[in-house]
Structure 1
Amino acid sequence: MADPKEDSFLDDPEALEAEMDAALEEEELDESDPLALELDALRSERDELKDRLLRTLAESENVRKRADRDRREAEHYGGTRLARDLLPVYDNLQRALEAANKEENEVASAVIEGVELTLRELLNVFSKHGVTPIAPQNGDVFNPQEHEAMFEAPVPGTKAGEIIQVMTVGFMLHDRLLRPAQVGVSSTPAS
């Protein structure tokens, strides 16, 4: 029949270790005894191996966490270069729509409609992959985290730091800036 004390040691190895240490101390072996010396050497080796095991487990857990974080970042931000390369396509489609005047709208309405649909589809693909436009308006406050000041000019009726012109739209990839919006900013108006 199994001893219930042995079963508890299987469940708790630290209790077994403490029990063994207590039993050995009770025997009060002589220091000159070769068994006592061997036992002390085995204890120190056990403690060293236990310490190395704990350090190895901690290191492997850190590696796992780092790999998981890197995988998530690759999923979110892996398309950064492709998205940056597509931004000039957006700019050119936008310029094409702005360049078409009313006469051309009537003559080439199908072409202009195709450009509008292409631009809309590009924005849908951007949105699907976490790319969102930063489209400031005239009068918005300049934010250096999202905007790039291309020039500064005193404009009557404005406050210093207000956007007075938007040259290009900026874009964010999730929570990272992909490209800042290029804007003109009002300086202190001349009196």
Structure 2
Amino acid sequence: MADPQENPFLDDPEAEEEEFDLDAAMEEGDGPTDHARANVDAIVAERDEMRDRLMRALAEAENVRKRAARDRVEAEQYGGSKLARDLLPVYDNLARALEAAGDAKDGIVEGIELTMKELVGVFAKHGITLVAPQIGDRFDPQEHQAMFEAPLPDTKAGDIIQVAAVGFKLHDRLLRPAQVGVSSTPA
């Protein structure tokens, strides 16, 4: 490799790369020796190798940039999934408390309802949505977890016959499947 102080064009970004035409030089009578031809061929080969390495390095840098951008977006969207999973039992307990209260409308029940509404609002703000199947819906193994199967008249196999617990999604990822009972009645 040439020393940068010996060649002033190496540091000049505006210097144009000039191809040495070996055949034209030979026709003009400047015929290089075999040793000079070998040196020129070696320099051209080194240049081509360096160009190839540069192109590969640029491609790798672009791939790393894209991967980092994708990882950053994923971390923003799904970084809080562990905290979200830890909050799901809070939702379940509030839902059980409201179910146990029945139709009572005292201050405690109102407080639980407000707390539940606040929790659902926080979930929505952070992209957490309920997966709440209804009785009679079809079982979807992508969103539901079958807790049991039971034959039930007037249903088809694969129909949801009971919802034990709602599920949750964080954006498009399932945090927890809805826990359901499924009919096993043959069609």
1:172 aligns to 2:169 (yes or no):
yes
Number of aligned residues: 172
Give, in angstroms, the shift of residue 11 of structure 1.
8.0
Partner residue, 2:25: 27
TM-superposition CA deviations, 1:146-186 (whole Å, max 9, x none): 00000000011111111000000000110111100000001
Question: Residues 31 and 37 of structure 1 are in contact (CA less than 8 Å); yes or no, is this contact kept in structure 2?
Answer: no
Q: Alignment identity in percent?
A: 63
Give SS of 2:121's match: helix
Q: Is the 8 A contact 1:135 1:181 kept in 2?
A: yes
Q: Distance in 1 between matches of 2:162 and 2:31?
A: 91
The alignment's C-alpha RMSD in Å is: 2.0
Q: Which residue of 2 aligns with 1:37?
A: 38
The residue number in structure 2 matching 1:4 is: none
Judged with a 3 Å threshold, the aligned counterparts in structure 2 of structure 1 residues 33 and 165 are, in CA distance, closer, same or farther, namely same
TM-score when normalising by structure 1 = 0.83
Match of 2:7 in 1: none
Q: Is the Cα–Cα contact under 8 Å of residues 161 and 187 in structure 1 kept in the other structure?
A: yes
Select between 178-187 and 26-35 the one with higher mean Cα deviation.
Answer: 26-35
Query: What is the letter of the counterpart of residue 135 of structure 2?
Result: N
**How far apart are the structure 2 equivalents of 1:12 and 1:177?**
58
**Structure 2 residue ranges without an equivalent (≥5):** 1-12
Instruction: Give the stretch that moved more between structures: 174-183 or 40-49.
Output: 40-49
**Are the aligned partners of 2:136 and 2:159 in contact in 1 as well (CA < 8 Å)?**
yes
Amino acid at match of 2:96: R
Greater helix share, 1 or 2? Answer: 1
Matched residue SS, 1:161: coil
Q: Give yes or no for contact 1:134–1:181 (8 Å, CA) kept in 2.
A: yes
Q: Where in structure 2 are the equivalents of 1:33-182 lying within 5 Å? A: 33-102=34-103, 105-106=104-105, 109-182=106-179
Whole-Å Cα distance in 2 between the matches of residues 133 and 86 of structure 1?
Answer: 13
